[in-house]
Amino acid sequence: MRAVTGGSQKSLWERTVELTIALGERILAPVERFIGERSLVGDATFFPLERFPWVAHVEDNWTVIREEAERLLEEQAELPNFQDISRDQVEITADDRWKTFFLYGYGFEAKLGVQMCPRTAALMREIPGMTTAMISILSPRKHILDHRGPYKGVLRYHLGLVVPADARSCRIRVGEDVRHWEEGKSMIFDDTFNHEVWNDTDETRVVLFVDVLRPLPFPESAINRAIIRAIGYSPFVLDARRNQEAWERRYLERKRARESAAAAGSGGHGETQPSPAGHTTA
C-alpha cells in the first residue's frame, strides 16, 4: 500500500517509520534533559578518555581493526551508503561518499559484518554497554551536514583507522568544539550536540564508529537500558535492520554470480592437453 504525499509516493511502512522518529523525538526530549543532569561523566561535547577504561584495550588492538577495515576498502563501491540502511540519514547525505559497514545495531547482529570482520566484532563485544558498532568510510571531499543524534542515553566513540595525511583538513565539529582524527587514537563525544564533518582532502577517512551506554547511577541506568531496548524494537530500527539484511542478500548474490562467472571462464584449464609426443599432460 502506497500513498502519494507532496508529489512522491511513500508506503505505509515508510510513513510509520517517519512517524515513529517524530514521536520518539518528542517523547525523549524531557528524558534527555534528565539524563544530562544525572550523567556520571557530565554533560559535555567531548569526554576525557580516562573515564572509560575499556578504550585502552581497543586502542591496543587498533591495527587488528584497521587490517579488517582495509579489506573492506577493496570493495568500497559494493558497500552500502549510510542512507541506504538508515533512511533518515538522507537529510544529511544523499550521495555515495559515506559508506558504512555494520557489525551491531541496537541489539541486532549484522551477520555478514561479523563474518567478514570477526576480530573486530569480538573486540566490540568486550566493550561495556556497546549498542552499535560499524566501520564508517568517508570519501574525499565529503561534507556531512550539521545534525544531531537521536538519543542522549548513548555516547559516540570514534577510533581513527585510516586518516588523511593532512589530518587538520579532516575534522569533526561537535557544538563549538573541533577535533581531528589520528590513527590509533580515540575520541568520545555526545552526538546529541549538533555536529558536522568535513573531509576536505583527496584521501579516504576510515573510523571505527561505536555507540555505548552513557554512564548513569541506578536506577537511571536501568531506565536507560529499558529505553534502548525499546528503541531496538521501534519501526525506525527494524527498518534499518531490514535494509541491512536486504543489502547482505544482494551482496552475497553478486559475489556468488562473480564466482560462478570466474569458474565458467576458467573452464577447461584443468583438463589434460596433448603433448608434442602424443602423450597427455595433467
pLDDT above 70: residue 19: no
- pLDDT the model gives residue 233: 87
pLDDT tens across 38-72, in order?
999 999 999 999 999 999 999 999 999 999 999 99
pLDDT above 70: residue 256: yes
pLDDT tens across 209-228, in order?
999 999 999 999 999 999 99
Are 163 and 197 within 8 A, CB to CB? Answer: no
Here the cell at position 188 is: 568520545
Which of 122, 108, 135 lies closest to 245 in space, CA to CA?
108
- pLDDT the model gives residue 107: 84
pLDDT tens across 28-37, in order?
777 888 898 9
> Cell 556531512 maps to which residue?
144
d(CA 135, CA 209): 6
- pLDDT the model gives residue 4: 37
104-118, 158-172, 266-280: lowest mean pLDDT where? 266-280
- pLDDT the model gives residue 16: 57
> Cell 587498533 maps to which residue?
62
pLDDT tens across 150-177, in order?
899 999 999 999 999 999 999 999 999 9
* Residue ranges of domains in the chain, CATH in brackets: 2-254 (2.60.120.330)
Which regions of 148-267 does DSSP assign to beta strands (E)? 154-162, 170-174, 177-180, 186-189, 195-199, 205-213
DSSP character for 24?
H
pLDDT-derived band at 115 (thresholds 50, 70, 90) equals very high
> How many angstroms separate the Cα of 72 from the Cα of each of 17, 22, 105, 113, 220?
30, 34, 19, 10, 39
- pLDDT the model gives residue 234: 86
Here the cell at position 93 is: 547525505
The pTM is what? 0.85
